[in-house]
Amino acid sequence: MRRRVTSMHPSMPVVLSIAGSDPTAGAGIQADLKVFTLLNTLGTTVVSAVTAQNSTSFGSIYPLSKEQVETQLQTVLDEFNPLYTKTGMLGTPEIGELVAKYTKNSLIGKLIVDPVLKSSSGTYLLEKSAQSGKATGGGHIEFLYKNLYTKTLFPLSFIVTPNIPEASILAGIEVRDVDTMEEAARSIHKTGARIVVITGGHLKGDQAIDLVFDGRRTTLLKDERFQENRNFHGTGCVFSAALTAWLARGYELLDALGMAKKYVHEYIRL
């Protein structure tokens, strides 16, 4: 059998993003690939869903079928051997289950899960099945969401990166400050995720505080708050893609996290 590529060069490791397409490239798989490339990793991509959106409006979502996603994945894996895979918008629970199968079979490296629930404009990014086109959403989606992540994907994850609204749903508590962030991180850690990173950008205050819990220690990463003077979406995608790239390049967890946090500021100034 042909040896699969883990890097073109030792300093350019292979990474994979499984996520939705955003045609404006502000978020989703296009943003991931830009970050992977800018940070000198060899990015590969598997599209889970096709969205039509820009920074101010969200048109439609077409999740792909499990079969369509699986053929993409197999084709990438025929040639490449990713060290890390990050997931963003997964489209449907079925696609999430597919990711779980490939992670269990040790085919896609270490898993970094960004449990995306909604776009910045408030549209749910998970659908019940692959048949829709119009975003549906609602309470039943949050139930499917919580089940998929806490029961299927987190037990197999190396790192999970919920933001405040996501952590609130995943842990079932209202996260409103650092104490409740820690409580949520502990609860999410019990699902089996090795490292929980709650990104605190949605909390009020001068600083943006991220909380990292590895099962023993809690670390707070502080940075000055990101000033929104343009219509940005996709900062969560950029953060988790940068984290994936720095880890694949061999940086230690806390260094990679600190660099990814700083990188979001640099990236939006590009």
CA distances to 39, 161, 247 from 13, in Å: 10, 22, 10
Instruction: Name the CA radius of gyration of the chain, rounded.
Output: 17
Subset of 116-145 contacting ligand PXL (CB under 6 A): 116, 119-120, 125
Going by C-alpha positions, the residue among 127, 142, 102, 78 that lies closest to residue 18 is 102
Return the residue of 234, 243, 260, 264 that touches ligand PXL, per CB under 6 A: 234
**Of residues 92 and 249, the one with the C-beta less far from ligand PXL:** 92
H runs (alpha helix) in the chain = 28-38, 66-79, 93-104, 139-147, 164-171, 178-189, 235-248, 253-269
Q: Which stretch binds ligand PXL (CB under 6 A): 4-12, 21-29, 73-81, 178-186?
A: 21-29
CA distances to 20, 77, 84 from 102, in Å: 18, 10, 12
Return the residue of 41, 44, 45, 53 that touches ligand PXL, per CB under 6 A: 53
Return the residue of 160, 236, 243, 249 that touches ligand PXL, per CB under 6 A: 236
Separation between Cα atoms, residue 115 and residue 143, nearest integer Å: 13
Q: Are strands 12-21 and 7-9 parallel, antiparallel or unpaired?
A: antiparallel
249: contact with ligand PXL by CB under 6 A: no
Separation between Cα atoms, residue 28 and residue 51, nearest integer Å: 9
State the DSSP H helix or E strand holding residue 46, giving kind and residue range, or none if neither: strand 42-53
Phi and psi (nearest 5°) for 195? Answer: -135, 130
| Smallest gap from residue 86 Cβ to ligand PXL (A) | 11
| Smallest gap from residue 40 Cβ to ligand PXL (A) | 23
Return the residue of 13, 28, 115, 201 that touches ligand PXL, per CB under 6 A: 28
**Of residues 28 and 109, the one with the C-beta less far from ligand PXL:** 28
237: contact with ligand PXL by CB under 6 A: yes
Q: Which stretch binds ligand PXL (CB under 6 A): 113-121, 141-149, 166-174, 191-199?
A: 113-121
Separation between Cα atoms, residue 172 and residue 181, nearest integer Å: 12
109: contact with ligand PXL by CB under 6 A: no
| Smallest gap from residue 91 Cβ to ligand PXL (A) | 9
Separation between Cα atoms, residue 65 and residue 170, nearest integer Å: 25
242: contact with ligand PXL by CB under 6 A: no
Q: Which stretch binds ligand PXL (CB under 6 A): 2-10, 90-98, 134-142, 234-242?
A: 234-242
Subset of 73-92 contacting ligand PXL (CB under 6 A): 88-89
CA distances to 70, 87, 155, 203, 253 from 208, in Å: 37, 23, 28, 7, 19
Subset of 194-223 contacting ligand PXL (CB under 6 A): none
Q: Which stretch binds ligand PXL (CB under 6 A): 194-202, 221-229, 232-240, 257-265?
A: 232-240
Separation between Cα atoms, residue 92 and residue 148, nearest integer Å: 9
Which positions touch ligand PXL (CB under 6 A)? 19-20, 22, 27-28, 51, 53, 88-89, 116, 119-120, 125, 233-234, 236-237
